[in-house]
Structure 1
């Protein structure tokens, strides 16, 4: 992914604006900075983020709504989480025109993911797909729209995934049966990764979190699930695993595209390696689902490592040793934040 200052923000942004806007309530423990990030940062698209018109004979009555994705408004959509950025943005556009037949149009020369996760999401959306091989797209009178810009997730270019929270909610309703979670049982999920950014002390971390839960006035009304690689599951299994959790802790990575399936008020912590702090990507998706978000990282961002592809690749590939005491303290805050969120929803 090629980045430029407009898509990342500047080093001055990091020093002057970062802590004021991103981390107004930061706290530190054993070298880790824990934050409730993205304060004041919008997390939803608006229709103004799209270029929208009508294609077809003059005065025609549209029967289709087409969403165009090309190299100008998408980042490397051959990778399934970046494909999901385009899919979700188009899904929101389609829902703006519920009586029209939705069609996804892939621009010439744009490679798109064929991963099982991507294909399963298409099936859930029930969207017709076309690839533009010539200058003209598919036939028929259509409302045609496309996102104006692409966002990288970095400071100043935070990603927005949907126009409305209800867009994520509709996908959840399509996938899940209406069943209430078990009352009184707090389900905590710890996700790891098989490759880079793996939490190398995950077993110790899980054991410490279990002790924290037992001492948090929860008696035996909790459970903790620890999964080595969410990618070992099918699309539906990944979604259900996330959806049933009340608290989720995960390193930054593609598996967190599944944050879209989180229930409202789920408390989510994303962990980052040093010099790769990018909460403006998957935590923005968690916000769209209605989750309460937390972030854990070490130190300020060295933007020279973001702009340089070789250095960026090196820092984002580092495994993570997450301090267990910092994790335990954060879990208590996450449990309290979840209860506070649930209380405000019920009012």
Structure 2
């Protein structure tokens, strides 16, 4: 009996110790995850770039969230006689033709507009042999080269240069930004197509690190996940270079519950390197440019912040790709007046301009927007459902 009484007397103490231990763990987690120094502000003199464009602190960028279609009926993104034979059991092939003579067919973003649509078409025909009518295209980027190799090696797409004996469809791409039906942007059948693409590629690379974001256990509100923010820049020679990317990183790291990194550019990066960078990103901040064609490789629940130069504002282009991937899109307009020029020459000149987010505007505009994004991302992580994948091919 005394031994039992001793145990009874010791139980309250054990409970107290357990409560103290749990509280200590929670406080420690919060302390480690807090912003480094929320009261420290980076001044204009600390900006690593002295370009005049970065000193236009009177320009406050406007941030707007856009919602684009997540899915599209098949006839909306491909056309041609092959559609007539979609359910014909006697037709054993599903062939998509690359339009070599279409506008900007040598330009990476427009090349991928066609290829993504063809990929989605092949996924709609899992029992048929997949062919790609692909004429030789010179000077393709590492991303296109790697994606084409993936189509051949992973998805068993055969490349042919003849149209004889094939049931052909070709991408329905309208390059006019005035089109109201989004055919000028990116379209696939559903976000599940991109999820299947990402999952299949990862299965071929078990050595790759785990994806960012929502890939771990969900629903435990005692855990406060930190998103990974990637500032993906462009080379100065490419135009639309973000001048104060390092200052932006310092501010975001000090103000947000997030891990922040800067990637100088994707110039020369292989397809695999670009995919892995995206898979390690929950919130992508990047100027308008071809590097954004890899958006479909971002993890589920990811957000995209696309920064536009002054007088050039086309959120529907990569915004449509973000929507097709089932992700969330925000346009950052750095010039609040005269958003669009009338002539092609004026638009091309505006499109080539570099961009800068004024320091004070980062604190006043971007940081509050990203705080909301982080809360949205955390909520999505706890409640998201896996996208419905297409049938295996």
- Structures share a fold, TM > 0.5? yes
Displacement of 1:228 in angstroms is 0.9
2:259 counterpart SS class: strand
* Aligned mates of 2:332, 2:240 — CA distance in 1: 13
Equivalent in the alignment of 2:14: none
Equivalent in the alignment of 1:32: 61
Q: 2:93 aligns with which of 64, 70, 92?
A: 64
Say yes or no: does 1:188 pair with 2:229.
Answer: yes
Displacement of 1:157 in angstroms is 5.7
Q: 1:104 aligns with which of 132, 145, 151?
A: 132
Displacement of 1:152 in angstroms is 4.2
In the TM superposition, 1:1-347 aligns within 5 A as 31-37=60-66, 39=67, 41-49=68-76, 50-54=78-82, 61-70=90-99, 74-106=102-134, 114-126=140-152, 127-132=157-162, 137-138=163-164, 140=165, 142-153=166-177, 156=180, 158=182, 159-177=185-203, 179=210, 181=212, 184-194=225-235, 195-213=238-256, 218=257, 222-297=258-333, 298-299=335-336, 302-303=339-340, 305=341, 307-323=342-358, 324-325=362-363, 326-345=365-384
Displacement of 1:289 in angstroms is 1.9
Equivalent in the alignment of 1:9: none
The change in CA–CA distance for 1:289 and 1:117 in structure 2 (over 3 A counts) is: same
* Aligned mates of 1:274, 1:157 — CA distance in 2: 26
CA contact 2:113–2:173 (8 Å) conserved in 1: no
CA contact 1:154–1:279 (8 Å) conserved in 2: no
Structure 1, unaligned stretches of length 5 or more?
1-28
The change in CA–CA distance for 1:292 and 1:118 in structure 2 (over 3 A counts) is: same
The change in CA–CA distance for 1:112 and 1:88 in structure 2 (over 3 A counts) is: farther
The change in CA–CA distance for 1:181 and 1:270 in structure 2 (over 3 A counts) is: closer
* Aligned mates of 2:368, 2:270 — CA distance in 1: 33
1:318 counterpart SS class: coil
Larger relative contact order (Cα-Cα within 8 Å, sequence gap ≥ 6)? 2
Equivalent in the alignment of 2:21: none
What CA RMSD, in Å, does the superposition of the two structures yield over aligned residues? 2.8
* Aligned mates of 1:148, 1:301 — CA distance in 2: 31
Between structure 1 and structure 2, the one with the greater Rg is 2
Please list the CA deviations of residues 130-159 of structure 1 after superposition, one character each: whole Å capped at 9, or x if unmatched: 335xxxx14x3x332123442445663631
* Aligned mates of 2:350, 2:356 — CA distance in 1: 14
CA contact 2:234–2:240 (8 Å) conserved in 1: yes
Displacement of 1:97 in angstroms is 0.9
Displacement of 1:344 in angstroms is 3.9
Equivalent in the alignment of 1:15: none
* Aligned mates of 1:68, 1:211 — CA distance in 2: 50
* Aligned mates of 1:128, 1:192 — CA distance in 2: 35
Q: What TM-score does the superposition give when structure 1 sets the normalisation length?
A: 0.77
The change in CA–CA distance for 1:51 and 1:210 in structure 2 (over 3 A counts) is: same
* Aligned mates of 2:299, 2:309 — CA distance in 1: 26
* Aligned mates of 1:266, 1:115 — CA distance in 2: 25
The change in CA–CA distance for 1:148 and 1:259 in structure 2 (over 3 A counts) is: closer
The change in CA–CA distance for 1:32 and 1:313 in structure 2 (over 3 A counts) is: same
**Count of matched residue positions in the alignment of Structure 1 and Structure 2:** 297
Displacement of 1:276 in angstroms is 1.1
Structure 2, unaligned stretches of length 5 or more?
1-57, 217-224, 387-393
